[in-house]
């Protein structure tokens, strides 16, 4: 792995990737929470998936590696792919319905808690090493969730 520019012990490339990811999550969460105020969640999800596939399907067809990966998954991973697909669509639909009933900040915070769950499963089941940086990051996610939970309610 090639090291990027490091400032005060922080890899700025990794920091930039994290900030861009956070901005993307904020943007798609805002779009989703506003979108379901105009369109029923099931219809909204179908529209979003059609738009998503419109962009991805040509990419899969044009990119050799993506095409090979898709063919491999179709031949060998049908059940796992179906389970992941149903789970993904189901949780996304659930999130869209919840956006209609509560503050979007609560939903986003709870969705990002999955990062903590995934990391803990990695530590416990996959033997991943819980480094100080990983634990600090997880604690920051939990602290952020607590801050959102304890924030004053808007009138």
* Predicted local confidence at residue 112, as pLDDT: 80
Mean pLDDT of the chain: 85
Query: Roughly how many angstroms between the first and final C-alpha of the chain, as a whole number?
Result: 50
Render the burial of 20-33: b for 16+ CB within 10 Å, e for the rest. Answer: eeeeeeeeebeebb
What is the C-alpha to C-alpha distance for residues 149 and 143, in angstroms, rounded to an integer? 10
At 56-76, the pLDDT tens digits run 888 777 888 888 888 898 899
At 72-124, the pLDDT tens digits run 988 999 999 899 989 989 999 999 999 988 888 888 888 888 889 999 999 99
What is the C-alpha to C-alpha distance for residues 32 and 49, in angstroms, rounded to an integer? 12
Per-residue HEC secondary structure of the chain comes to CCCCCEECCEEHHHHHHHHHHHHHHHHHHHHHHHHHHHCCHHHHHHHHHHHHHHHHHHHHHHCHHHHHHHHHHHHHCHHHHHHHHHHHHHHHHHHHHHHCCCCHHHHHHHHHHHHHHHHHHHHHHCCCCCCHHHHHHHHHHHHHHHHHHHCCCCC
């Amino acid at each position: 792995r090639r090291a990027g520019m490091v400032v005060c012990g922080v890899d700025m490339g990794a920091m930039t990737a994290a900030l861009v990811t956070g901005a993307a999550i904020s943007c798609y969460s805002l779009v989703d929470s506003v979108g379901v105020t105009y369109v029923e969640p099931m219809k909204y999800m179908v529209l979003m998936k059609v738009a998503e596939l419109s962009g991805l399907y040509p990419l899969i067809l044009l990119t050799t590696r993506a095409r090979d990966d898709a063919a491999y998954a179709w031949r060998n991973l049908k059940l796992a792919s179906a389970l992941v697909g149903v789970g993904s669509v189901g949780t996304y639909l659930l999130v869209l319905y919840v956006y209609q009933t509560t503050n979007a900040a609560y939903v986003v915070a709870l969705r990002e808690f999955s990062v903590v769950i995934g990391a803990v499963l990695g530590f416990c089941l996959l033997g991943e090493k819980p480094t100080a940086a990983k634990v600090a990051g997880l604690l920051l996610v939990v602290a952020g969730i607590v801050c959102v939970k304890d924030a004053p309610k808007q009138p």
